Amino acid sequence: MINSTPHLEVRQLTMAYGESIIQTQLNFSVQHGEIFVIMGGSGCGKSTLLRHLIGLMEPAEGKILVNGIDLWQASLEERNLLTRNSGVLFQGGALWSSMTLGENIELLLTEHTKLNKKQIQEVISYKLSLVGLSRYTDYYPSEISGGMRKRAGLARAMALDPDILFFDEPSAGLDPISSRDLDDLILELRDSLGATIVIVSHELASIFAVGDNSIFLDPTEKTIIASGSPKHLLESSTDPRVIQFLTRMN
């Protein structure tokens, strides 16, 4: 049965740091199984929007609904369930530096599942193998490269088979080949797991490679100035700011 409720819905959202408004009047929805890209230039509030979507920052105004449940009106049980069903890949990986890669994944499994130790180890091996790091279970984050940290962060984000994954600048700091590999991995995960994926990015190659739908945030207007599939925006947008952003690779 097709789920008609959007997986994620943002209504009249205003984001602010104290008195300073970052973005206002944000309205958009993300459908189940979609790869949704939040794009815009540096400093326009993309990462701040992501922090709102994952519940780290409370909206100044407006609502964020996940599967129809208001993130900030939900009961503790509902919030824990929403959290359990989402995974986040932070910009630098944000792996817990005092734990090995295996322990980073283990923490989620021990907190949110009733698996025994042997089963947990099997899940850890499987998750790390998905991102090509099965030989690095006992390595600390400081002992691996930046690209490997990103992939380990992705394995941790997928640890609980979440319905929705949030990626903050997944390609940032990666060489073009690693970046393309990560894009391919994201597409494979979406196709195989059917997860909804929300990506914050300003890497054009990635945006066009993976994005089904997108919004474009503008720092001057402080709101969304374009929305739709990235390829469609490239072909049909008439806004010079969007055109300039989407064509700067040429």
Task: Kindly tell me which of 165 and 233 has the beta carbon lying closer to other proteins.
Answer: 165
Task: Kindly tell me which of 127 and 156 has the beta carbon lying closer to other proteins.
Answer: 156
Supply the minimum distance, in Å, between the C-beta of residue 57 and other proteins: 10
Task: Kindly tell me which of 11 and 79 has the beta carbon lying closer to other proteins.
Answer: 79
Instruction: Give the bridge partners for 199, in sequence order.
Output: 37, 167
Task: Kindly tell me which of 72 and 96 has the beta carbon lying closer to other proteins.
Answer: 96
Task: Kindly tell me which of 164 and 174 has the beta carbon lying closer to other proteins.
Answer: 164
| Number of residues written out for the chain | 250
Supply the minimum distance, in Å, between the C-beta of residue 128 and other proteins: 17
Supply the minimum distance, in Å, between the C-beta of residue 88 and other proteins: 5
Separation between Cα atoms, residue 139 and residue 162, nearest integer Å? 25
Instruction: Give the bridge partners for 61, in sequence order.
Output: 14
Both tokens of residue 163? 């319905």
Burial class for 204, CB neighbours closer than 10 Å (0-12, 13-18, 19+)? middle
Supply the minimum distance, in Å, between the C-beta of residue 14 and other proteins: 21
Task: Kindly tell me which of 98 and 119 has the beta carbon lying closer to other proteins.
Answer: 98
Burial class for 174, CB neighbours closer than 10 Å (0-12, 13-18, 19+)? buried
Separation between Cα atoms, residue 73 and residue 36, nearest integer Å? 24
Binding site for other proteins (CB under 8 A): 51, 54-56, 79-80, 83-84, 86-88, 90-92, 94-97, 107-108, 111-112, 156
Supply the minimum distance, in Å, between the C-beta of residue 31 and other proteins: 22
Residue 176 carries which DSSP code? H
Separation between Cα atoms, residue 68 and residue 50, nearest integer Å? 18
Q: What DSSP assignment string belongs to 128-172?
A: HHHTT-GGGTT--GGGS-HHHHHHHHHHHHTTT--SEEEEESTTT
Burial class for 221, CB neighbours closer than 10 Å (0-12, 13-18, 19+)? middle
Task: Kindly tell me which of 25 and 98 has the beta carbon lying closer to other proteins.
Answer: 98
